[in-house]
Structure 1
């Protein structure tokens, strides 16, 4: 199914200008939600460590300008969430195989949160050049949103800028947090170990996977898996972190339970930078389909809108506490949590081991329309394309319509299989096929 890119028009460019010895960074924004677009500014205040913040934002910009797959590199705009005393910047590589997030924690900013919200921002070349020139002793003011006084300067002319956001970018955002939520900490490297490790990254484009393991006080890459090692596909993607390594106090390594996806979190004390890698360079987070099973059970739209009005951007999402406070049974809250994750309204913080809420600047219908496999499963349900052979609490067997053939779906406890090519090729590692999804929909 073809999808249309999202074309947004900005009323002005992002700018970083110097006036009276003060760096002023103003991020242009746009949103499909009128109540968000009407807000002139989410945050306005000082950055307590301008040099480190600049280095982290430049690393994020490096990620969004990169591509490690068949998609040619092109600058894509990250999003920024302001609220709950912190600011998060998020972005993907053009191939969607690398996800990066910069968390400016409470001690990294000194200003006023005028409102709470999430919006996409414009990282244009003049601003990146200015970030490159920031010195440690300079002052910087960060404005998230656009205020008229902030965009009028004697050095920069305000111009309109159009930006195209690909649907795979939004799909990646709805998928990556499911991988993060399934990760566990494996290693924690100190400054010396960080430098030694990155010096050992093979030069050039490494085919296949390498394994990160600890040998005494050192961490090394090896083509051979050992007990406790971390699998890294497309290890050259780690070079995106090289610009911030001298500033990191520690580097924490995480791995997803299936042993494929991994993440590296550089901790600077008041700032954290997270880099998550898809299983391989040719696999982007947007194509994994791991969110689909969570979307099988329909959640009332009023529930989602109620959560959106209740929580601010970046607020920690505690399903147990919410269930108790609002008298919702735990099973329904689990379903709601899965649904919110599946449409990108929940992110995941590896440091806190907890979801956080984000208000996406896109209409919910836009996000729900980006899963053709789910749509095809719903079509099978409405056209009576599923016939049950056996349906018990412990074992389900069904015949499901395919392209000129009937496929057999078997679900036994936590194990599920289908005779279609999708399941044969991917064995469940890239989400469920439409046939299994349809059976699960009917089985409730």
Structure 2
């Protein structure tokens, strides 16, 4: 797959300065879409709990700067969305296997939303040092706006004029929201139970999977699965939350219905921090391809652009309501939802159990660029590489061109199989192969 980097330029600096005892943090914003390019400020106001907010932002930064797979650490650019009376900071680990999001709710901020939108900010060393220096009695003013990134403290000033938004982050945003949408709440831990749980995490880089279960009034980790236990792959990744343990009111544990991935939501009352773990340390969210099946039916580009013009950042996304209000077939709305997901425009809030909209810079051609299996499936159709052998009574059999070989694809009801190596290795757990996709697109 060719690398697709998004070059984002900023015209002015984001700043963190101290003036009259007040920390003022102004985050730059950028946009590819013309309707929000000239907005100078999305939000301006005070943070009601500067110390806790700083601790959570440092935790988010720790996630972004970490790596648990072959990809070396080096990223430090959380995404920030402002709108609908809340602000979300989110990002991935460099290996793309850990997703974190900080939701600053209405009670966590005291200011004015002048517009809604999304930005990219750089958490470099001066920013981290400034956040580390925040005291409990300090005041902090947060602003989201302008067009460059810079940080000013008593020790100096740092300016970031240009950043690259990694394509695997957008692919990760695509996959992780589908995992989150399929999760159910399993456990709810109080403050004492949270401390006990983290004290039981094995030291060092432990291999293999662990299972979280409740025994009596305690939660324990075991390498052996039991009834109602939650599988946690790459258990050492949970240590990313250690810096905020003393502040957590409760910790809610979720698991995806297939038992693959898990999420831990630290609730502080006025803000929440979500940590989502991919199935294993070596598996990043960006390579899953679990959105592809919903993208078989094409939708007009104008529909995607229209929804983007209609919705604000952080606004709850209700496809059923949109279908009814705009007289759109429910199945087609599912495809439109998948198209929005495929370029990172939808997130999922576990607390509200609903999707929300995220304004990101995008171009329609990135739907294919970021989903090579979909692109290759369309190529198979354009070159007549798919031959239907049987298509009747809910049973489809086809021969599909491969690399020097013809693969057999069988689709029966909700089940599908292919003789290619991708299907053999993953058994459908990481999305459909291009051969099954092509057959479904032809027979749809």
| TM-score of the pair, normalised by structure 1 | 0.96
Distance 1:151 1:254, change over 3 A: closer
Alignment of structure 1 residues 97-112 onto 2, 5 Å = 97-112=97-112
Residue number in structure 2 paired with 1:440: 440
Residue number in structure 2 paired with 1:339: 339
1:347 partner SS: strand
Encode CA deviations 1:68-100: one digit per residue, 9 max, x unaligned: 000111123111111111111110000000000
Residue number in structure 2 paired with 1:139: 139
Please give the alpha-carbon distance, in whole angstroms, between the structure 1 residues aligned to 2:236 and 2:144.
33
Please give the alpha-carbon distance, in whole angstroms, between the structure 2 residues aligned to 1:370 and 1:12.
30
Residue number in structure 2 paired with 1:273: 273
Q: Give the Å deviation of 1:227.
A: 0.6
Please give the alpha-carbon distance, in whole angstroms, between the structure 2 residues aligned to 1:77 and 1:197.
30
Residue number in structure 2 paired with 1:402: 402
Is residue 386 of structure 1 aligned with residue 383 of structure 2?
Answer: no
Unaligned runs of 5+ in 2: none
Q: Give the Å deviation of 1:174.
A: 1.2
Residue number in structure 2 paired with 1:250: 250
Distance 1:154 1:277, change over 3 A: closer
Unaligned runs of 5+ in 1: none
Residue number in structure 2 paired with 1:56: 56
Distance 1:391 1:214, change over 3 A: same
Residue number in structure 2 paired with 1:290: 290
1:164 partner SS: strand
Q: Give the Å deviation of 1:393.
A: 4.6
Name which of structure 1's ranges 323-332 and 195-204 shifts more when overlaid on structure 2.
Answer: 323-332
Residue number in structure 1 paired with 2:223: 223
Q: Give the Å deviation of 1:161.
A: 3.2
Residue number in structure 2 paired with 1:195: 195
Please give the alpha-carbon distance, in whole angstroms, between the structure 2 residues aligned to 1:160 and 1:268.
32
Encode CA deviations 1:339-389: one digit per residue, 9 max, x unaligned: 222322111000011111111123333344111111111000111100011
Is residue 181 of structure 1 aligned with residue 181 of structure 2?
Answer: yes
Please give the alpha-carbon distance, in whole angstroms, between the structure 2 residues aligned to 1:248 and 1:359.
29
Q: Give the Å deviation of 1:13.
A: 4.7
Distance 1:193 1:3, change over 3 A: same
Q: Give the Å deviation of 1:319.
A: 1.7
Q: Give the Å deviation of 1:6.
A: 2.9
Please give the alpha-carbon distance, in whole angstroms, between the structure 2 residues aligned to 1:72 and 1:6.
20
Please give the alpha-carbon distance, in whole angstroms, between the structure 2 residues aligned to 1:53 and 1:30.
23
CA RMSD across the alignment? 1.8
Residue number in structure 1 paired with 2:329: 329
Alignment of structure 1 residues 81-92 onto 2, 5 Å = 81-92=81-92
2:298 partner SS: coil
Encode CA deviations 1:117-150: one digit per residue, 9 max, x unaligned: 11212222111111111111111110112289x9
Distance 1:210 1:4, change over 3 A: same
Say whether the 8 Å CA contact 1:28–1:122 is kept in structure 2: no
Q: Give the Å deviation of 1:320.
A: 1.9
Name which of structure 1's ranges 299-308 and 222-231 shifts more when overlaid on structure 2.
Answer: 299-308
Is residue 169 of structure 1 aligned with residue 177 of structure 2?
Answer: no
Residue number in structure 2 paired with 1:3: 3
1:29 partner SS: coil
